[in-house]
Structure 1
Amino acid sequence: MPGAPAQAPAIASVPWVVCLCAEWCGACREYRPLFEQVARAHPGLRFAWVDIEDHADIADDFDVETFPTLLVAGADGTRFAGPLLPHAETLSRLLSALQSPQPAAPEVTALLKALEASPAIFSVGTP
């Protein structure tokens, strides 16, 4: 319809895994081959490597304070956004957990129960 505002394209249902980096960052340069290795191991996800200085037009609104910064998001929302240690194993574990949530390990369940039972522990944003 002429004169109607253009609608933004729909976000694909396949989640994106985006590494926001800078060419001058040594950790980013070392991480890139590992990121590409993880991308090959997760063909069901879409991966992108974005140099925020070369592509400021698309990354300028995203506040990057530490390199590398990882964004995992899709049509269902943001699943992770923030700095991540530049290790292939760390990224693989994160992606596996996001794709197939597992029941909490016994030690995690025990810690959560202890937190709920302890009024002395400072809680942020408690309902």
Structure 2
Amino acid sequence: MFSMTLNDDNRDDVAAALASPRWAVACLCAGWCGTCTTYRATFEELAARHPDKLFLWIDIEDQAEVVGELDIENFPTLLIQRDDQVAFFGTVLPDPGLAHRLVQAQAAHSPAELAALAAASAERQQWQRDCNLRALLRAAQA
């Protein structure tokens, strides 16, 4: 496997991995969701194509303590961030090419571009407040 699955036993390891300056790509899913089950293989392929990034699989019900307040509208939902800047949060079609292009496009942003985009709209500002995976994990560990 090329991704990590967040669970109660590896939260410290995931927090340490998120502390690094590399990009993180998280798939927020649910164990009962057939689309998520099918998408898991696509997510693993995506992780294999981007070994320089941290890929996390997060079951929103098993990890409700971490992500319980996030507004997940549908599956699969991807959360892409670098450091404390959330670059993308939303539902994506379960298409490997689309996910690959999305990750590439976000990773192409310089830190200054990413900061400007983070402040560019009310929705993106909300992502910074509510969807920062580092902050969510820290709060769950406190």
Q: 1:49 aligns with which of 51, 57, 63?
A: 57
2:86 alignment partner, one of 57, 74, 78:
78
Output the TM-score relative to the length of structure 1. 0.68
Q: Say which structure is richer in helix.
A: 2
Which structure has the larger Rg over C-alpha atoms? Answer: 1
Greater mean alpha carbon deviation, residues 86-95 or residues 9-18: 9-18
Which sections of structure 2, spanning at least 5 residues, go unmatched?
A: 1-15, 110-120, 123-142
- Tell me how far apart the structure 2 counterparts of residues 25 and 31 of structure 1 sit (CA, whole Å): 10
- Structure 2 counterpart of 1:96, which letter? Q
Q: 1:28 aligns with which of 17, 32, 36?
A: 36
Aligned-residue RMSD, C-alpha: 2.2
Decide which of 29, 54, 71 is 1:63's aligned counterpart.
71
How far apart, CA to CA, are the structure 2 residues paired with 1:94 and 1:75? 18
SS in 1 for 2:38: helix
Residue 62 of structure 1: CA displacement?
Answer: 1.5
Pairs aligned (count): 96
CA contact (8 A) 1:11 1:74 kept: no
Does structure 1 conserve the Cα–Cα contact (< 8 Å) formed by 2:25 and 2:81?
yes
Partner of residue 19, structure 2: 11
User: Runs of 5+ in structure 1 lacking a partner?
Assistant: 1-8, 102-123
Measure the CA separation in 2 of the matches of 1:76 and 1:53: 24
- Equivalent position SS for 1:81: strand
Contact between 1:13 and 1:76, CA under 8 Å: does it hold in 2? no
SS at match of 1:70: strand
